[in-house]
Amino acid sequence: MFGDLLDDFLAHAGRVEADFTMRWNAALLGAPKGVRRQAPQSEWRPYA
């Protein structure tokens, strides 16, 4: 049970971090708001 909860938490944290990373990358690249670059998985999920 706790393993499932942990997996769910890590998956959620990964999605949140990916969203932040995409927004940050877009801002650094000067992309218009709303345009997000897909970050490579290794960039935001080192524990996967």
pLDDT in tens, the chain (48 residues): 677 877 787 777 777 777 777 777 777 776 555 545 555 555 555 554
Scored b (16 or more CB within 10 A) or e, 15-42 reads eeebeebbbeebeeeeeeeeebeebeee
The answer to whether the predicted template modeling score (pTM) of the entire model surpasses 0.75 is no
**Residue that has been written with the tokens 């990373």 in this structure:** 21
